[in-house]
Structure 1
């Protein structure tokens, strides 16, 4: 059997023919599964690129120590959100179609539980800073910093859940749009707040951009993706009973996979200091962009 007769060659030949043909590409894009996959790939690439730009701006306008502490704060927020999601974002993708007659019930239930869990996880994290991250104790010294950290943790959790609601609705174009809003605004605010030269200015610029994106997602994009949607604090026991088994099983695997990457910056800032963490994190941002190139 020749190489051209093997199955792998035929797959690559079909892929080449599709990519090089405008008509066939149009047919592919019309299929929701493929178009959503393209949007998600685009969102992932853009997120890495704009994240790289953000940290370049931070490194240009802020002291090394401020960059190191801010990157640790953002990693801490990501870790808190990872623990608080409970796999609900995956359950939302899995079960939203089953609640097509009343999508508001499942979306608002997931949002409400995610909101409460993220606030609780953030408060627990802050309360135990002496134990797991003494370098970040400064956020307990000022009520504004404490409230902002808890608030941005809740916003980050809701932002992730809203992205997954778009994926479940097969409207991944909104994932790209919200990522664009978040990315551009966080870079702008990083420059605007640079006069304060503090680590919390960097963290706040990240949080403000994310908050603006979430507001647009909930009050503009979601009502389009799910006609008639309105945000409301809701908990439906049946929704939770249907989802929790599936969600929690996936939650553990996702947590074990993603948590180590968020713990590394916290380890560096506590063991080697904020300045060392700045160099470590900028290098990591560069590596994330390189990984996206293939």
Structure 2
């Protein structure tokens, strides 16, 4: 099959490049960054041309506007990438009877309950980022294209900017640090998400249209996450818990956004790794590459 990847220079895009090397399918990687085939996903005609020229049957949309704070003052750009572009990709796939695999977020939920969020729960995003991502989901559904929407959370990897790399740097350079403990969720290793997407593609389960949740197994706060990163990195920084109010932000974040993955596991037969096991893998990758 011919598969188009958008956002190839991001965390998930890099991991999709890894899984592509192990596949018999033909992958085409696009991004606005230098070194990739350029594709403006906000331009429907450009997408149509790319799809037609390469006989694309699947698009995996790894592109997103993910700066949660900046989105509050940059609605137009966030909406263009997270909503309009998602709808464009879905429209292009509908026209050729292809499939769109799209990555969404736990931020579509308000996060005020203390049990894992299910796909059929009411959504109520607290900020612009979550609102534009939810609008993107609805835009995809409205086209009627065959689609698989994967909501994920707290994504990290050896690539780009993320919490793991930031905490490694801070705990190596500071004697003490405060990290919020009243926001709870599950870290997700981008490599595991890429493996899940590859499994869906390789097993040709593309007709199972709908919304699914994927994060690693387990539960932790950002404080717990930071403590383990520090320990696994061999650093000795004194990390203390604090409330979110101590770090003022333009946007309120969900306090509990653990995702229920039962539907994904039973539908696709995917085994989801535990979060600390995957974190160890990532930190080893980072150490090996330094």
Asked whether the two chains share a fold, i.e. TM above 0.5, the reply is no
| Structure having the higher Rg | 1
With a CA cutoff of 8 Å and minimum separation of 6, indicate the structure with the bigger relative contact order: 1
> Relative to total residues, which structure has the larger helix share, 1 or 2?
1
> Relative to total residues, which structure has the larger strand share, 1 or 2?
2
TM-score (normalizing by structure 2): 0.31
